[in-house]
Amino acid sequence: MASAARLRRLGVARRPPAVPGAGRGRAGARVRLKLVPLGTSAGRPTLLRGASALAVATEGAWVLCDCGEGAQIAALRAGLSLSRLDAVLITHLHGDHFNGLPGLLGTLGLEGRQRPLVVAGPPGITALLQHLERAGSLGTGDMEVRVLEQQGNGGEVRIEGSQFLVESRPLAHRVPTYGFRVALPDRPGTLDVSRSDAAGVPRGPLLADLKAGRAVTLPDGRVVGPEGLVGPRQPGASMAYALDTVPCPSSVELGRGVDALVHEATYEDARAALAHERGHSTGVEAARIAAEAEAAALVLTHFSPSVNGDNLAEEAKSIHPRITVAEDLAEIAI
């Protein structure tokens, strides 16, 4: 991010088409994702929980959902390579979700990052980063930061050269807020070479076409399709990140059919009125959202320092059968 002009030029991505969910309800082994909670506290860090941040990782790459204070230190402790970070997804501009971003960008600039970094966030994030840059507070040098400011109903968050498929949807908080869905693309099924040999398909490029799901024409003129030769596609894993928000239809759609819905659970159900007043949800409400969305698993996070995450899960376990309480640096495989 060499200048504020570059930020202005790259500024706003307006409602491109949404990315469809990956791997829902299909046979085959899943391509794996790993969730690494880097901060699970609401409002402020505590001795055991940092401010909001979650790494979504696969082999060789990761994206960061929110970047609260201390996120880059937690990432280093988790063994995540900053050079392999593809994008930062900021839900909203409350400090506990954003304050770690300037320091992270400065570190990447100091390390001489060569490839662009995507930063997606709500309206206002472009102006905020421009202001920090003009004040000399970022120190990103020649690193290019591609700021994708989400608008309206959200949509695809395009990360060039990345295997991650990301889309955003607006949530219901006190300030403009967007949740994110992150998925890996489906992979072709396994080719049974013995069957393709028996069908007379010669070894070479035609096999790649078959594996990709395309029919091929053999030298003798016969057309052979992938049916019976290639196994089911391997669906990519998917997750959704919904915070901060009161229960809303958009969070249901964001989490529709995902392998894991990461949802805020700021308060216990007895304080639902307080949660709604402050733009938040309870653990029970998060479970209802996950159940309605038919998410395979629910991960609770964003806990008020005054509550116990295990108690929130206990309240909600009758609503959704698979609930995990996020703990800082405790990896979750999906």
145: closest CA among 61, 85, 74? Answer: 85
Catalytic center residues: 96
Q: Which residue, chain included where needed, has tokens 């955003």?
A: 168
Angle between helix 283-293 and helix 309-316 axes, rounded to 10 deg: 50
d(CA 161, CA 61): 11
59: closest CA among 82, 28, 84, 29? Answer: 84
* Residue 96 · residue 302 · CB < 8 Å: no
Residue 110 tokens read as 């100091």
DSSP H helices, 260-321, are 272-277, 283-293, 309-316
What DSSP element (H or E) covers 73? helix 71-77
Task: For residue 244, say if its preceding peptide bond is cis, omega within 30 degrees of 0.
Answer: yes
Strands (E), the chain: 34-39, 53-58, 61-67, 85-89, 117-121, 145-149, 155-157, 165-170, 178-183, 216-217, 223-224, 238-242, 260-264, 298-301, 323-325, 332-333
DSSP string over 176-240 = --EEEEEEPPPB---B-HHHHHHTTPPSSHHHHHHHTT--EE-TTS-EE-STTTB---BPBPEEE
Residue 170 tokens read as 């607006």
